[in-house]
Structure 1
Amino acid sequence: MSESAVNPAPAPAPAPAPAPVEPSPVPTPEPVTAAPASGPAPVSGSAPRAGFAVRAGAAVVAAALVGVGLGLGIIKVGYDDRPAAQALPAPAPSATASPSPAFGAKSNGSHFGSMRDLLLPVPTGYSLGPDSGAYGNDTELTEEQRKAWVEDDVRALPPKLQDLVRKVWQETPLKGGGVRTMVSGDAGMVVTVWLLQYHQEAVKADNAWAEALGSDSGLFRIGPEIPGHAEAHCYLPHLPPGSLVDYLSCSAAEGDLRVVVRVEGVAPLPKDKVVTLFTQQLDRLARPGASV
């Protein structure tokens, strides 16, 4: 799963991934619009371990979108004031427990709260961007939308892989989805952020597969590093000389969330701004005590 932009016990070795394809460059730089569910960079969904290779390969072929679901955990922090010594004045009443956060991550890596809360708020200098296909520009996917997203992902694949990938999604279902798009103040860059929430081991494995395929396939340029987030990686497709529009896709695994940031804009892209946005999104999702 472009702007729709790099999409959670031992088991058999993964099947070989299909060969990735390179997107065609957009002829003119403006206006830049958000892309639908498929795009040019390596992104993958979820799968049992036997299906990881297929999912990761499918990601490079179709660059499926990503989303994020609702976690059910609640973190409560309480404070217990001890009474003062007997010779001192009467103790102050004990402090009440801090309000439970509306969203965040548990120490085990599972996330909770609305996906619209977990998604990075639109920063200063940006505004909400165009719709990402049929999913809007600021959306927490409903159950029906998640089903539609999975079908979009499956149908973007070669026919011989569709049944297998559909089965993979059934065995390790997408719990939820969320997307937010934003456009830079000069309208030269559109950023789409997708979150997917599913089984943590699948998220981690899919992200690793996408990284391997993106770096080893030869079809992508290696993008910027994301400081403090070794699991994050970014890629850009090779483009013909003189291309007016460029693309960048970044992917990371944060607990039970797969995070994908996809960028399309006037070449050359301001990669430093993309790094800042991606870092802020990952920091927002970091589990308690994580070093980011």
Structure 2
Amino acid sequence: MSPRVQSAPRGARTVSVLSVAMLALTMTGCSAAEDAEDAVSTVPVLTAEITDEHPFDSSSFTQGLEVMPEGDLLVSTGLNGESRIYRAPVDDATSPTVSDDLDERYFGEGATVHGDRVWQLTWKSGVAFARDADTLEVTDEASYDGEGWGLCSDGDRLVMSDGSPTLTFRDPTTFAPTDSVEVTLDGEPVDEINELECTGTGDERTVWANVWHSDRILRIDPATGDVTGVVDLDLPAGDRDGADVLNGIAENRADGAPDNSFLVTGKLWDTLYEVQFSEE
């Protein structure tokens, strides 16, 4: 979404249970300290261990990040006149193997691969581009109402965010909406849901989501919209001059990758991190 620079303070690597409660209150505009102290969240707090680092293209205003079935990174970037989508090796995303620029009228947003097709969102244009997964050439397009922010595929359907607490499920062929769910933390809606990653299958499906203006990633049950875990990331690349917010989460699908291993980066970051999430 918007190219405004980071305005949220850098967070701690982990958050306390009280911090999770305060996140729920902050998202709904409640600022009374006594309410925060009384609201003890039952949502698990996750920690993140950095297990590896890789070079990343610091000119990429990262809006979408995913690992393709063949192992390449899929990266979608934003800003009018600078938006593009590209494939690159995980160990050096500064060297794309395939790349395609968007027309300068489009502000690129999230993207995901579904079968032999890649879908890429635009921010305010209401246009989603369907692309060949190998060449990234545009093969079709679809329209949608509202803004486009994040996108992932759970294998059967697409999951889309639009900056609100709502996740919209879409047909992967037509891009038509089929259902929706509201994301809530301790029963309160969470605004500014951003980049998405879908993991798991069947009843074990999970959506992971960046929250704009923060270093937080949420673990969400897509069946109910309930947040089932919260992690705060304070990563060094985010403190580099010129870097913007944390944005970009992809399941690490490399052979031998540990459970709950992800790749994360941010807008205009120079580093891609491998991190492993665990519950305290």
Normalised by the length of structure 2, the TM-score is: 0.29
Higher Rg of the two aligned structures: 1
More helix by share: 1
More strand by share: 2
Highest RCO, 1 vs 2 (Cα 8 Å, sep ≥ 6): 1
Normalised by the length of structure 1, the TM-score is: 0.28
